[in-house]
Structure 1
């Protein structure tokens, strides 16, 4: 309901005019001569008539819609590329014949196929003396708790800037070149471990970013690695 007080000159109020025009959208079709007489002041200070302003608004909306469509297409393209790279990584992990091969394939593909991943590592927590491998990285659970225990406490993926000692444990000699990192706990059979990835860019891995991809990769490792591990430590 129009709450504006009646005007003393007897003319309709602005709200009444606006309501009338909304209720009669074809008004200007029957009164085209009025369009040429109406003047609007643009943000630039230029005076234009209503028809010109409408055309300008439609042009601006068209440009905005094109921009949105372009972004949607870019996102779709990136998603397609991510899917293909993820598929190739998963197939490579499934086809691995040994635990060492799985670890090498995982780290190599993460670094070579995914943007802004400069370093990757897979670390298992077990007795190194009971694992007959010089390639697969295995550390004792006690050492893992001492070095990165705070990162493993929640048993969830973590992203962000890590402490120097944590980076040194996860990435060794590359620690000084790392700006941000992400890690995801894994559980291969009876052995716990962690997948860690890192970027030279301090802004790439943030605490606010999603971790679905890393969780997905960890789940594949959880399924594949126990089948390749041999020994009483499983």
Structure 2
């Protein structure tokens, strides 16, 4: 080392590193803790280091309480959704007449989940129901579109044909489109349309797991209208 070289000033990082590497420093200089004064953002005046630490701990505790409350709220909401899904499924299982199933699906979703508009179209149904209203009106393009959906679509109204199946297409600001399949790799035999005038109801950023469950339940019930599989 060159004894004539100028000394480098001590930086805040140097002090911080020294304190990290010397954990017993304040044990040997306990009087410093009482003399350190910090500005509190809560009371707007200088407080001791110990008081500031208490404030920080209280703030962390408050944040933890808020997170816990948020988790409880989400848990309650999820429990409520599962309860609605359970009741709707039970209603579908109780339908004796297969021809009544499409109305049970759409009406049940509208009532149980408070969906403003619900529409449903099926194709390839068995002969006894081939002329039913729910089996009419889906073009080849709409059928191909439904089959192309590997999971429910959720987001702003894209202006596709199935929107016209709704009673009031102009009021459909956000949509959920649920393809109905007998099996995961099978072509769609129907499409369920859920619509709302609220742009936030069916957001593209929202998860589709719950909507997929609704689609699976609806498809399982409505498969009674399809020809028997050998």
Same-fold call, TM cutoff 0.5: yes
In the alignment, the residues of structure 2 paired with residue 191 and residue 51 of structure 1 have an alpha-carbon distance, to the nearest angstrom, of 66
Cα root mean square deviation, aligned: 3.5
Distance 1:193 1:52 in 2: 65
Give unpaired runs (5+ residues) of structure 1. 1-5
**Counterpart position of 1:139:** 136
Give aligned pairs, total: 222
Partner of residue 219, structure 1 = 216
Name the CA distance, whole Å, in 2 between partners of 1:231 and 1:66.
55
- 2:177 aligns with 183
Q: For residues 138 and 15 of structure 1, do their structure 2 counterparts lie closer, same or farther at Cα, with a shift above 3 Å needed?
A: same
Residue 37 of structure 1 deviates from its aligned partner by 0.8
Q: Is the alpha carbon distance of 1:231 and 1:72 closer, same or farther for their aligned partners in structure 2, counting shifts above 3 Å?
A: closer
Per the TM alignment, residue 218 of structure 1 is displaced from its structure 2 partner at its CA by: 2.1
- Residues 128, 139 of structure 1: 8 Å contact kept: no
Find the counterpart in structure 2 of residue 124 from structure 1.
Answer: 122
* Structure 2 stretches lacking a partner, 5+ long: 1-5
Q: TM-score, normalised by structure 2?
A: 0.77
- Pairing partner for 1:229 from 218, 225, 229: 225
- 8 A contact 1:160–1:206 mirrored in 2: yes
The 5 Å alignment of 1:40-189 reads 40-43=38-41, 46-115=45-114, 117-126=115-124, 131=129, 134=132, 137-139=134-136, 143-146=138-141, 149-150=144-145, 152-164=147-159, 166=161, 168-171=163-166, 173-187=167-181
TM, length-normalised to structure 1: 0.76
Shift of 1:224: 2.6
Q: Secondary structure at the match of 2:154?
A: strand
Superposition deviation, residue 58 in structure 1: 0.9
Structure-2 separation of matches of 1:57 and 1:32: 21
Whole-Å separation in 2 of the counterparts to 1:155 and 1:68? 34
Give distance in 2, aligned partners of 1:98 and 1:205: 32
The separation in 2 between residues aligned to 1:137 and 1:87, in whole angstroms, is: 24
